[in-house]
Structure 1
């Protein structure tokens, strides 16, 4: 009999504990729900919502387009509750990424709040160091697509067709997969080729006008140069994976010791190529008559 009474009291005690636990859990969930609801409601408050977007730093990219892209990112809510245009919690990273992805011309995006309701977007645009033409050779027609390239070898915008050599030109096979928003070639390779080109121009005083990417290792630096009364309009062929400092010193020897001029004067054919792909040996190739 006493044992049965103890069992009844024990079961009653467990039920009471369970009920108290459920009540506490309900209160906790309800409290969290109220707090979340208040925060969600507060996130939509007008005085902390981004209502004005200002754009600066752009020269070519249109301000209205940049604003529209940012507004698309800020539209809607997080998990259906918290406003994305709230100046405290708006998605900074996604806003930057969306603008840079939409406009490859833009290389950097800085976001700052002028006030709780005004977002300032400052952008920096890429500057061209040359033009890449999607062609196997220098024969470019009005239908050949050409694009601006920045100092890192990044292709960022379609370029108009210029009637003269306003920009240094890069030529690469028409079957290449590169397009706007991609690298013409690895950044390190592009910089090495650019440094070699600059050295030829500045230290040897030779007029370079373009570069033909022949394959994955060889390139042809196009030169239009006059030496005394002799004109050299051709190319310097080299392996751009070689030591370009050594290659440049070899070329300097050829030019400064008048070896190049001598080769041009002693032939009744026009010099077309200086081939430097064979170590310290330099080969001269002439046009067939």
Structure 2
């Protein structure tokens, strides 16, 4: 059997090669450190330093508050080394995201670098479409003492609202586990479905004011819509009860058919009125 030749180098050659490798690694590391130090010095110099912050589009919010927040973000270091005040290292996307978190009223923000010393931010504030007023429905004079929050068209809760009485805004009541600000009344798709149904109800000519999710903890919950209708001696307005997996068009059609009946209208407009309309059962409508 042929013997395999072993490539054994003399000890001196192996040591020389290791020494050469270590020297290369040292110079590579030194070069890398010098590059980092150079960029760090450059980022902290006055060259290309951001001196001006411009904010447009703020209406309810104070532009100066947004500017001051951006300045605070710029005071930190990128990778603990590079100054964020430098035009090159300014983290525009991250700052945009942080602005949205700090100011929930802002629904959209677009940042740009106007020149080497100026960054600008254009913000779009959320529209005050509805109110979220807690987990349990409240009516009448008690509503003036309830802390409510503004809600946009997606169901996003973005700001505290002044104390309102009456029905200036449509009100939602639902349980929210976290801090209300920055939360959603319901998930976005469910909220859009509910708003669509509310619009259908209002299109029939019925004035709805409140929607809530009601039911005992161990029982299937149902949606409930309350009307703007008061009966003497009764603390709660009339309501419509329907299941959470409802069909908006179908429920609205049933409701419209009910209000087209003269017998029901007479009862609805009478002094005793009605307590509820139950639309949870397919093809059937119950009221009391």
Query: So what's the TM-score if we normalise by structure 1?
Result: 0.83
- Counterpart Cα distance in 2 of 1:268 and 1:182: 41
- Counterpart Cα distance in 2 of 1:220 and 1:187: 19
Alignment of 1:137-286 (within 5 A): 137-139=137-139, 140-172=142-174, 177=178, 179-202=180-203, 204-215=204-215, 217-224=221-228, 234-258=238-262, 260-264=264-268, 269-285=272-288
Q: CA deviation at 1:55?
A: 0.8
Could you say if the C-alpha distance between residues 271 and 117 of structure 1 is closer, same or farther in structure 2, counting changes exceeding 3 Å? same
Q: CA deviation at 1:114?
A: 0.8
Q: CA deviation at 1:119?
A: 0.7
Q: CA deviation at 1:144?
A: 1.6
- Counterpart Cα distance in 2 of 1:128 and 1:47: 43
Greater share of strand = 1
Query: Over aligned residue pairs, what C-alpha RMSD do you find?
Result: 2.4
Corresponding residue of 1:61: 61
Could you say if the C-alpha distance between residues 12 and 38 of structure 1 is closer, same or farther in structure 2, counting changes exceeding 3 Å? same
Q: CA deviation at 1:263?
A: 4.1
Corresponding residue of 2:130: 130
Q: CA deviation at 1:164?
A: 3.2
CA contact (8 A) 1:206 1:223 kept: yes
Q: CA deviation at 1:142?
A: 3.8
Corresponding residue of 2:43: 43
Alignment of 1:14-53 (within 5 A): 14-53=14-53
Spell out, residue by residue over 1:130-179, the C-alpha distance to the aligned partner (whole angstroms, 9 max, x if none): 11112523233443211111111111111111233211112346x86551
Corresponding residue of 2:97: 97
Q: CA deviation at 1:35?
A: 2.1
- Counterpart Cα distance in 2 of 1:36 and 1:124: 38
Spell out, residue by residue over 1:6-58, the C-alpha distance to the aligned partner (whole angstroms, 9 max, x if none): xxx93333333333333322222222222222222112232312111111111
Q: CA deviation at 1:80?
A: 3.2
Could you say if the C-alpha distance between residues 46 and 24 of structure 1 is closer, same or farther in structure 2, counting changes exceeding 3 Å? same
Query: So what's the TM-score if we normalise by structure 2?
Result: 0.84
Could you say if the C-alpha distance between residues 81 and 264 of structure 1 is closer, same or farther in structure 2, counting changes exceeding 3 Å? closer
Q: CA deviation at 1:205?
A: 1.7
Spell out, residue by residue over 1:224-245, the C-alpha distance to the aligned partner (whole angstroms, 9 max, x if none): 369xxxxxx5222211322222
- Counterpart Cα distance in 2 of 1:251 and 1:70: 52
The total of aligned residue pairs comes to 268
Could you say if the C-alpha distance between residues 213 and 270 of structure 1 is closer, same or farther in structure 2, counting changes exceeding 3 Å? same
CA contact (8 A) 2:144 2:164 kept: no
Q: Which sits farther off after the overlay, 240-249 or 212-221?
A: 212-221
- Counterpart Cα distance in 1 of 2:79 and 2:210: 53
Corresponding residue of 1:110: 110
Q: CA deviation at 1:78?
A: 2.4
Could you say if the C-alpha distance between residues 268 and 88 of structure 1 is closer, same or farther in structure 2, counting changes exceeding 3 Å? closer
